[in-house]
Amino acid sequence: MAVSEVALPVHLSDTHWERLHPPLLEAGAYAVRREPHGPPWRLWEQVGAQEAAERGIFAPVRALSDGPSGTVLLAPGDTRGTGLIPERTDGYCMGIDGRDGPNLACLGCGLPVGSRIDDCGQWQVVEFLPAAVVRLPGPPERPVMDWAELLADGLLWHRLSEYRDIPAGVALAHVVVAAQGKPVEVVPGPVAELLGRAIAALLTSGEDSKRLDLAGPGLGERTADLVLVPIHPQTGEIWQPSGGAIAVPMDAALWAELAFPPHRTRLPVVGGLPAGVERNDPLPPHPQCPFQPSISAFRYTLARIPAVREPWLRAIYDRRY
């Protein structure tokens, strides 16, 4: 059974439609979703802005969940002693999605305990109802690692990197909020390649711009107004700069990819090149089209930040990008 709690992955803010996803969490880890989730759902018009704000949603969304809060998320392979409820195994096309309520029951007592989700366009995960979870003595949880250990052990790089548009959309929302309506000048390099086009489309250009750069463990402080910094994957805490720059949180794996890009490896060769012939190493791979942060993750994140109620930011939320 999973014994180590981790921060709730930001990848939950979006998915890739019509595509089978891997498990959201690594084996031996669990996370807690504080926000209500699952059926029944109510449309925004039925909930209203005041009740939504009390629940931490500050801009219109399609629907809000009246499901339980505090569900416990695990990788499907970490569950034991449960079985599917046959009449609740509906989904879209390739799996089940819990649309009819809990689809897992305890094999001992037969009561519903949670849902397994593995349909296309969904992260593979098991969500246990909070009332069905009892904490028992067990092996100690993995100690919280400091940033030096995380970097040395390579734990900031993970298998969800192909879904980098999702944490990029989350980070973009935090950049826009931190900019406070001012133009943002992105430092040339990986950050500009990742977010530069989207920032230019969202924020007006002009004087009195704020400079955006990377900072964090192994990089130190940067001369910038805004700095993208990693979120600790275990605790969810944001790395804090000691200077006057504003910390903008970013998924640790995406941050590590920008801060320490993988080096190209030369292919081994036998012998040498003839005199006068220069090396022709392959260029680094480039995508066929410009990178686009996830719009859904951007709006999902903005909707949960109180500042989105400010007129200039609400206008950005409404027009998208």
Q: Cα–Cα distance between 40 and 100 in angstroms, integer?
A: 9
Q: Cα–Cα distance between 252 and 257 in angstroms, integer?
A: 9
Q: Cα–Cα distance between 141 and 130 in angstroms, integer?
A: 20
pLDDT of residue 129: 96
pLDDT of residue 221: 75
Enter the pTM of the model: 0.89
Q: Cα–Cα distance between 30 and 142 in angstroms, integer?
A: 12
Work out whether strand 184-186 and strand 210-214 pair parallel, antiparallel, or are unpaired: parallel
pLDDT of residue 286: 66
Q: What is the DSSP letter of 295?
A: H
Cα angle for residues 244, 58, 291 (degrees, 5° grid): 65
pLDDT of residue 264: 44
Mean pLDDT by 10 residues, the chain (321 residues): 82 93 93 92 96 96 94 94 94 89 95 96 96 84 88 81 94 97 93 95 86 91 91 94 92 93 53 68 67 95 97 90 51
CA dihedral 10, 12, 13, 16 (to 10 degrees): 120
DSSP-assigned states of every residue in 85-135: -GGG---SSSS---TTS--EEETTT--EEEEEE-STTS-BEEEE-GGG---
**Tokens 């909707």, residue?**
303
